[in-house]
Amino acid sequence: MKRLMSAALVAALGVTCLGGCQAGSTGGDTAVNGKGVKIYVSLSQADAFRNTLIDAAKKTAEASGAEIVVYDAENSIENQVAQIKQAVAEDYDAIMCGPVDADTALELEALAGDIPIVFYNSCPDASVLEPDKYIYVGSDEGVAGQYQAEYILDQMSDKDEINVVLLKGPKNHSATKGRSEEFKNTLKASGKKINVVFEDNADWEQGIAEDYFDLFLQTGKQFDAVVCNNDTMALGVIDSCKKNGISGVPVLGIDATADGCAAIQAGDMAFTVYQSGSGQGEAAVKAAIALGSGGTTQGMEGLSDDGLYVWVPFEKVDSSNVADYQ
C-alpha cells in the first residue's frame, strides 16, 4: 500500500519512509520503555498544529525505543480505513488515530480488531471508548471555549448586551462542537444578553474566514467581538479587518500558534488559548506504548477517572504573557 504522507509533513518531521520509520536513540524523555513496541499513526491531514503533535510523538517514540510510522490520510475516510487495515496486516502493537471523521471511530475499532487505538485531535463519542483499549488523548475542548467567553465577559463587564461573530471549524470535528457550545454556554450563564450576529463553519481555513467576514461586513450589523475556533481563522478575520478599515474590535483564536502569538504581539489579535500539540503527541505515544505492550494507562498524568481520556491542559494567552509562548 502506498504511504500517504504529504511532502510538507515529511519535511516537517524529517522522516524517510522508504523502508519503515525505525526509531532511533535521539535522547529526550526516557521515562517510558517502548522497546519492541510498534506504533502505527494515521494522521487525518497535515497542518501546522498536527505537525507539531506528530513531531513530538515521533521524538517521544524514538527516545523510548519504540518504532513509529506516520501516514497522512489527506482528509479521506477511505484512505484512513485502508491505513487501519494496513496496521492490522503488518501486525502493529498499537494505533494512534486522528480520525478524519470522529463518527467513524466504531468502524475503525472493528477494523483494528485486537489492536488498541489511541485517538487524538478529534474526539469520538464516549460510547465508543473503552479503558485500556480505545482511549482519547487531547485537551478538553470545552475549556478553550470557556476561556474565550471569560475573556470577553471580563473585557466587556460594563456591557449588558454583547454582539458576537463566531467562526467555527469543520462540522464533523469534535473541537468545533466542544469549543463553540461551551463558549455560548459560558456567555449565556453570565446573565447578559448575548447576540450571535453571524455564525458559520470556516473549516480552520484563513482564506475562508476572510471571505466570510468580508460578507458579514456587508450586512452592516454591529459587533463587539469576533471569536474563532482556531488562530488560523482569526488571522483571516484580521486580514479582512485590515483591508476594510476595521480596528479596535477584539479578535480571539485558539491554539497559540506562532502566527497567532505574533498577531497578539502586534496588537492585531486580543486572545488565544494555548493547546499543547507537543504535550498531546508525547502523551499519545506514552499511552500507545502502555497499551501496545499489554499494559495499562492507570497512573498516567491527566487520566480521567473513567479511564477514557488523557487530558492535556489548555492555557490562556494574551498580551501579558504571549512572550512565554513564542
145 and 244, same domain (yes or no): yes
User: Contact at 8 Å (CB) between 186 and 147?
Assistant: no
pLDDT (0 to 100) of residue 89 = 98
Closest among 169, 171, 117, 125 to 144, alpha carbons compared = 169
pLDDT (0 to 100) of residue 32 = 86
Has residue 244 been placed in a domain?
yes
Taking the C-alpha atoms of residue 63 and residue 126, their distance in angstroms, rounded to an integer, is: 31
- Cell numbers found for residue 149: 467567553
Q: In which domain, by residue range, is 118 found?
A: 36-138+275-312
Which helix (DSSP H) or strand (DSSP E) does residue 312 occupy?
none
How does residue 200 score in pLDDT terms, banded at 50, 70 and 90? very high
pLDDT 10s digits, 40-68: 999 999 988 899 999 999 999 999 999 99
SS (H, E, C) 241-270: HHHCCCCCCCEECCECCHHHHHHHHCCCCC
Strand partners, 201: 168
User: What letter represents residue 167's amino acid?
Assistant: L
- Which CATH number covers residue 129? 3.40.50.2300
163 and 225, same domain (yes or no): yes
Across 15-24, 153-162, 189-198, least confident range: 15-24
C-alpha angle 209-75-202 in degrees, rounded to nearest 5: 10
Has residue 28 been placed in a domain?
no
Closest among 34, 87, 72, 107 to 284, alpha carbons compared = 34
| For residues 246-274, average pLDDT | 96
For residue 1, pLDDT beyond 90: no
Instruction: List, in sequence order, the alpha helices (H) in the chain.
Output: 7-13, 48-64, 77-89, 105-112, 141-155, 174-189, 206-217, 231-243, 258-265, 277-292
Name the domain count of the chain.
Answer: 2
Has residue 261 been placed in a domain?
yes
For residue 12, pLDDT beyond 80: no
What percentage of residues in the chain have a pLDDT greater than 70?
A: 90
Average pLDDT over the chain, rounded to an integer: 91
For residue 205, pLDDT beyond 50: yes
What percentage of residues in the chain have a pLDDT greater than 90?
A: 87
Taking the C-alpha atoms of residue 267 and residue 318, their distance in angstroms, rounded to an integer, is: 10
Has residue 197 been placed in a domain?
yes
User: What letter represents residue 200's amino acid?
Assistant: D
